[in-house]
Amino acid sequence: MSSIILSLIFMTIATLAYSSEKCISTKPDMEGPFYKPNAPLRDKTGSGLTVSGRVLSYPDCKPIAQAVIEYWHANPEGVYDDAHRATIFSDKEGRYKFVTDFPGTYPGRPAHIHFKIRAQGFKFLTTQLYFRKKVSEAVFDIVLVLDK
């Protein structure tokens, strides 16, 4: 009997822990001077770096399907060009993924990728993903706030 009670307590705690997952809204960041609207629809703008993540809602962490994600960054030499701009969409589970070159740096700025995300019913977000060192994979979940 006590093992059944302990099992029920454990299941309840596990369920509460899972259901109480909280998201922190993604902080906005500057657009910068190199944004160009209408980036082409594509999920590959180079090779060597895979960026993936989920687009989620704040505060309940539910996936946001069909969010429009624009990204752009400097090429490996640190120059912005049209080859490193794209538009992608999140899938029904809020997931997205793209492959690109690792962004180059330029004076005063660490390696980074700019993002603009919009989804119906949510506030528009412009933000950036920064890198401390060169990597081949990065996970960047984006949490949007409801547009009240």
Tell me the percentage of the chain whose pLDDT exceeds 90: 84
Q: The domain that contains 131 carries what CATH number?
A: 2.60.130.10
Note the pLDDT of residue 111. 98
Which of 40, 121, 126 has its CA nearest to residue 82?
Answer: 40
- Residue 8 forms part of a structural domain: no
* Alpha-carbon separation of residue 2 from 5, 6, 7, 11, 65 (angstroms): 5, 6, 8, 14, 44
Evaluate whether 137 touches 83 at the Cβ level (below 8 Å).
no
What is the residue-averaged pLDDT of the chain?
Answer: 89
Number of compact structural domains in the chain: 1
Peptide bond before 40: cis, by omega within 30 degrees of 0? no
User: pLDDT by residue (tens digit) across 75-123?
Assistant: 999 999 999 999 999 999 999 999 999 999 999 999 999 999 999 999 9
Asked if 78 and 106 count as a contact pair (C-beta separation under 8 A), the reply is yes
pLDDT at 6 exceeding the cut of 50 = no
Please report whether residue 102 resides in a domain: yes
Structural domain including 84 reads 22-145
pLDDT confidence of residue 21: 61
pTM: predicted TM-score of the whole model, two decimal places: 0.85
